[in-house]
Chain A
């Protein structure tokens, strides 16, 4: 990308991420940021930018993080909420801020709470008597939650491209293979296609194993200039390009072509701005809130043709040793829904090259992508 200063990711980190914990969302935000700051080698006082993306019921503000961690005088900060493509929303904002010179070193985090209102979360089972806003056109019909919406996207995708349930299953089975190599993953036992097909529907054709795993936890990333990155702890991972996309109508149900998603609008823009092409990518970390989203990102990013991501995954291309190792930490299906910042962290860690059994050999270029339905954001990273 030609605009602004050359950028590097210099720190990454997680808080403990688990299905059951006594940690509050505030503790997880602080612990993830502390881990990322220590990973970078920067002192808190050297950080002058803070960004976060979160939903209101689990948000920890940039002020709270700055005050608690002794972060320096803020030159730039933003609290993003609601409509963005998950955790990468804040990462793209932070990259733009450092590239422009609005700040020199920015910590960005995403905090999630299982007790919150995500579908499948403990706060998601409610019995409202009357519903306002746009949901007044959905709630009377029992249409409440993302698994239903993605069930409808899946059905349309199957109708247009002839995709099968086994194609979605291939994502779940392959990512479980990766999870077995990741000691941080929560689900690590092998899963077969029979296991996938035997599991219950949430909203047909979407099954339980198509869904990511609700957890409490946080992830954080630190971005600074390539110049500042020279003498920090890790070999820098550079940011090449990024893009957002919504498509023509940012609405879940009025979105024109539900066999596609916002990813099909974000990815071409990113490649226009990039020094790389899809065939240069060594590993992809693409959103897997639901397995349909993973398939659509693989197509949108140009790793296979439209409608062919199912066979692409089923043939083993996204496995260890495959053409495009994908979601190499097991994805949110298995490590838990850290809401997309985990895809950025895994891309950076793959390019650092120290991931042990799940390391992609000689990984030099990585893509991270978040968001489904109308929301999409993607980034390309590289090492020199």
Chain B
């Protein structure tokens, strides 16, 4: 391959509703918004609870455990960062604390052909840039 300059992967651009999520990631926690009135988990972040319309929502630090719901191995290069990394896995991970919450993730620390539906995974954090971490999932190593 040529020595083209390495383009960074796209960073999240937080807004007033999502800032907490990326702040939590920075301290290596996977936080999901939760309604303080009815307990519904809200992901992606919204200003209202879809269960009871309350705006009394607060981030909840999850235990970071989940299961692979589905996944794909992407071969097509949509962004130059992945030019020398394809095929790569894009997965949806449902959280143990509420399986209706799904997080988009690559499955890291795992050979691409080992990823499967139902695979127990746990969160780890990948540093993308100064002060920017993103949640990722790897095969679960701690006892569940």
Contacts and interface: CB of A to CB of B under 8 A. Distances in A.
Interface in A136-156: 136-145, 147-148, 151-156
Interface in A256-283: 256, 258
B121 to A, nearest CB: 14
A125 B13 contact: no
Contacts of A254: 43-44, 100-102
Interface string A116-135: 00010000111111111110
B39 interface: no
B69 A156 contact: yes
Interface residues of A, number: 43
Interface of chain A, main secondary structure: mixed
Interface string B1-34: 0000001111111110010000000000000000
A206 interface: yes
B128 interface: yes
Interface string B36-56: 000000011000000000000
B12 A203 contact: no
Most buried by B among A134, A141, A144, A202: A141
A118 to B, nearest CB: 12
B72 A140 contact: no
Interface of B: 7-15, 18, 43-44, 69-82, 85, 87-88, 90-92, 100-106, 117, 128, 134
Interface of A: 119, 124-134, 136-145, 147-148, 151-156, 159, 200-206, 251, 253-254, 256, 258
15 contacts: A119-B78, A127-B10, A127-B80, A130-B12, A140-B134, A142-B78, A142-B79, A142-B90, A148-B90, A151-B72, A200-B75, A202-B76, A203-B73, A204-B75, A206-B72
